[in-house]
Amino acid sequence: MNLNSYRFFRLLTNASVYVVLTFFAVLMLFPFFYMLSTSFKLPADTFRYPPRMLPRDPVSSAVPGFDEPLELYYVEYQGERREFALARSNIKVGTYAAPEAPGIVYERRLSEVSPTGGAMNQKTVLFNGEQEKLFDVEVDGQVVPMVLLSQTTVGEFIDPQNPEVKVTQNVRLSEPVENINWHPENYSEVIALRGLDRALTNTILVTILVVVGQLVTSVVGGYAFARLQFPGRNFIFVFYLGTVMIPFVMLIVPLYQLMVLIGWSDRLAALIVPWIFTAYGTFLMRQHFITFPKEIEEAALIDGASRFQILRTILLPASVPALATQATFTFLYAWNSFVWPLIIINVGNEKNHVLTLALNVLRGRASDTPNLILAGAAIAILPPLIVFILGQRFFVESVASSGVKG
Amino acid sequence: MTVMPDRSAHPTAFILRVFMVWRGLFALLALVAVLGLWIVPGLGASPWQKIVLSMALCIAALFSLLGLFDIAKRLHRGRTISLILDYLAFVACLVIVLNTGGVFTGIDALADTFGRGILYLGIIVAGYLLGSLSDRYSHRPATERWLGSVSKWIMIAGAVLFVWKIDAVNGLLFFLRNLLQPAGWIAVTGIILFGLSLWGMWHETTASRLQVKTHHEAMLNGWLFLSPNLIGFLIFFAGPLLLSFFFSFTDSDAFNPPNWVGFENYAKIFNIRFTGLASPDQLAREVVDTKIYDEVGRLRLGNGGILFAAADPFFWLALRNTLTFALFTVPLSVLPALILANILNSKLPGMKFFRAVYFIPSIAAIVGIALVWQWLYNATIGYINYFITQGVEFLNTTFQAGLVDPKIQWVSDERTALMSVIIIAAWQTMGFNTVLFLAGLQNIPPELYEAATVDGAGAWARFWNITIPMLAPSTFYVVSTTTIQAMQVFEQVFILMNPAEGPNNSTITLVLYLYRKGFINFQQGYASAIAWVLFIVIFGLTLIQFQRQRRSSIYES
Query: What integer is the mean pLDDT of A322-348?
Result: 88
Taking CA atoms, what residue in A is nearest to B515? A343
Taking CA atoms, what residue in A is nearest to B45? A261
**Whole-number pLDDT of residue B557:** 40
Residues A202, A348 share a domain: yes
- Angle value at C-alpha B347, between B346 and B350, nearest 5 degrees: 100
Residues A284, A227 share a domain: yes
Residues A170, A288 share a domain: no
Beta carbons of B344 and A21 less than 8 Å apart: yes
pLDDT band at A393 (very low <50, low <70, confident <90, very high): low
Cβ-based neighbours of A222, under 8 Å, separated by 6 or more: A281, A282, A283, A284, A285, A286, A287, A288, A289
Chain A residues close to B484, C-beta within 8 Å: 245, 247
Measured between alpha carbons, how far is A210 from A218 in angstroms, rounded to an integer? Answer: 12
Residues A243, A334 share a domain: yes
Q: Between A31, A224, A359, which is nearest B222 by CB?
A: A224
**pTM across the whole model:** 0.85
Residues A212, A147 share a domain: no
Would you say B374 and B411 are in contact if contact means Cβ atoms under 8 Å apart?
Answer: yes
pLDDT of A236 above 70: yes
Would you say B373 and B420 are in contact if contact means Cβ atoms under 8 Å apart?
Answer: yes
Residues A175, A218 share a domain: no
pLDDT of A89 above 60: yes
Indicate which CATH number applies to the domain containing A354: 1.10.3720.10
**Whole-number pLDDT of residue A338:** 94
| Type and span of the H or E element at A251 | none
Could you say which of A150, A180, A210 is where a domain stops? A180
Residues A153, A207 share a domain: no
Query: What integer is the mean pLDDT of A354-368?
Result: 86
Could you tell me which CATH class the domain B315-552 is placed in? mainly alpha
Residues A141, A269 share a domain: no
> Among residues 321-340 of chain B, which lie with CB inside 8 Å of chain A?
336, 340
Indicate which CATH number applies to the domain containing A73: 2.30.30
- Identify whether A12 is part of a domain: no
Could you say which of A329, A345, A365 is where a domain stops? A365
Measured between alpha carbons, how far is A45 from A223 in angstroms, rounded to an integer? Answer: 57
Measured between alpha carbons, how far is B472 from B556 in angstroms, rounded to an integer? Answer: 9
- How many residue contacts between A and B have a Cβ separation below 8 Å? 316
Query: What integer is the mean pLDDT of A383-399?
Result: 76
**Whole-number pLDDT of residue B4:** 45
Residues A157, A238 share a domain: no
Low-confidence stretches of chain B (pLDDT < 50) are 1-8, 555-557
**Whole-number pLDDT of residue B553:** 56
Residues A238, A341 share a domain: yes
- Identify whether A405 is part of a domain: no
Q: Which domain holds residue A160?
A: 58-180
- Identify whether A63 is part of a domain: yes
Best B76, B81, B107 residue to mutate vs chain A (most A CBs within 10 Å): B107
Measured between alpha carbons, how far is B25 from B83 in angstroms, rounded to an integer? Answer: 15
- Identify whether A45 is part of a domain: no
Domain count, chain A: 2
Q: Which residues are A61's β-sheet partners?
A: A70
- Reduce the DSSP state of residue A126 to 3 states and report it: strand
Residues A158, A292 share a domain: no
* A11-27 tens-digit pLDDT: 888 898 899 999 999 99
**Whole-number pLDDT of residue B399:** 87
**Whole-number pLDDT of residue A51:** 87
Taking CA atoms, what residue in B is nearest to A349? B108
- Identify whether A214 is part of a domain: yes
Beta carbons of B241 and A251 less than 8 Å apart: yes
pLDDT of A406 above 90: no
Measured between alpha carbons, how far is B78 from B216 in angstroms, rounded to an integer? Answer: 12
Could you say which of A180, A211, A230 is where a domain stops? A180
Residues A122, A266 share a domain: no
Provide the mean pLDDT of chain A. 85
- Identify whether A260 is part of a domain: yes
Best B225, B246, B251 residue to mutate vs chain A (most A CBs within 10 Å): B225
Q: Between B233, B241, B363, which is nearest A332 by CB?
A: B363
Cα separation values, A274 from A213, A255, A338, A354, A359, Å: 10, 9, 15, 16, 23
pLDDT of A405 above 50: no
B131 φ, ψ (degrees, to nearest 5): -65, -40
